[in-house]
Amino acid sequence: QSVLTQPLSASGAPGQRITLSCSGSSSNIGANSVSWYQQLPEAAPKLLICGNNERPSDVPDRFSGSKSGTSASLAISGLQSEDEADYYCAAWDDRLNGLVFGGGTKLTVL
Amino acid sequence: QVQLEESGGGVVQPGRSLKLTCEISGFTLMNHAMHWVRQAPGKGLEWVAILSYEGSHEKYADSVKGRFTISRDNYKNIVYLQMDGLRVEDTAVYHCAKDRNGVYYYGMEAWGQGTTVTVSS
């Protein structure tokens, strides 16, 4: 049981826009910024978003993050086949005094 | 080119110890906090530990607290994870990762490919 809650799976057609959700509490998402990671099959995770909505320079602007209260979202526009991967949210938890991840959402591009 | 390369994994019996090594290149280690993150077979990501740039600020997941120790040698460009009292549930691929920040978590912007630890009798 992960501290941050993500749907197990999501799917979309090429070109579509999809939003992945991440739900937490006042001690993690409510108090600290959220990051998002993409993990392609058999690969190490890659940072997509940090600081709720900051995108590293090597991440396409099709990816965007947002946060409201104790929930966060990752939006992917112009869905491509290479976006098929597992996506994880993460945030520091002040109560646990550690970093917590969501269980991950497996994104399928139809 | 930023690179992180983990080593030291292997098969070990419950209760024994193992020390993982993460050798970095392409960036100045002393400017960044460093993490260890693990992934059990078929499971999601689990954060293990963080150590600040100068080594004064360290935090651990409850699941490893008191058994694992993170350390670093900024001159040798190496980060370590000493794992004592290993349990079957510690079986995972262990990744080291570089934070964008020097002290606190902000985002792990570079990762190694990982080293596999299997704890089994």
Identity of residue A93? D
Q: Mutate one of B46, B50, B63, B108 to test the A interface: name it (highest A CB count within 10 A).
A: B108
Q: Quick check: B59 contacting A, CB < 8 Å? A: yes
The per-residue pLDDT for B68 is 98
If phi > 0 it is left, if psi is from -120 to 50 it is alpha, else beta; for residue B45 that is beta
For residue range B81-105, list pLDDT tens digits in order. Answer: 999 999 999 999 999 999 999 889 9
Q: How many helices (H) and strands (E) does chain B have?
A: 0, 11
CB pairs under 8 A between A and B: 61
Is the per-residue pLDDT at A88 higher than 90? yes
Please, are residues A62 and A17 in contact by the beta-carbon 8 Å criterion?
Answer: no
Q: Per-residue pLDDT averaged across A30-36, rounded?
A: 97
- Please state, in angstroms and as integers, the Cα–Cα distance from residue A36 to each residue in A68, A75, B7, B65, following that order: 15, 11, 26, 25
Q: Which long-range contacts (CB under 8 A, 24 or more apart) does A45-48 make?
A: A45/A88, A45/B37, A45/B45, A45/B95, A45/B97, A45/B108, A45/B111, A46/B111, A47/B107, A47/B108, A47/B109, A48/A74, A48/A87
- The Cα A68–Cα A73 span in angstroms is 9
Identity of residue A42? E
B51 CA to chain A: closest CA distance, Å?
12
For residue range B31-77, list pLDDT tens digits in order. Answer: 999 999 999 999 999 999 999 998 889 999 999 999 999 999 999 99
Interface list for B 15-34 with A (CB within 8 A): none
- The Cα B46–Cα B49 span in angstroms is 10
B77 in helix, strand or coil? coil
Place of tokens 């299997």: B118
Place of tokens 């080291």: B96
For residue range A61-84, list pLDDT tens digits in order. Answer: 999 999 999 999 999 999 999 999
The per-residue pLDDT for A1 is 83
- Residue A74, strand partner residues: A20, A65
Residue percentage of chain A with pLDDT more than 70? 100
Least CB–CB distance from A88: residue in B45, B105, B114: B45
The per-residue pLDDT for B55 is 86
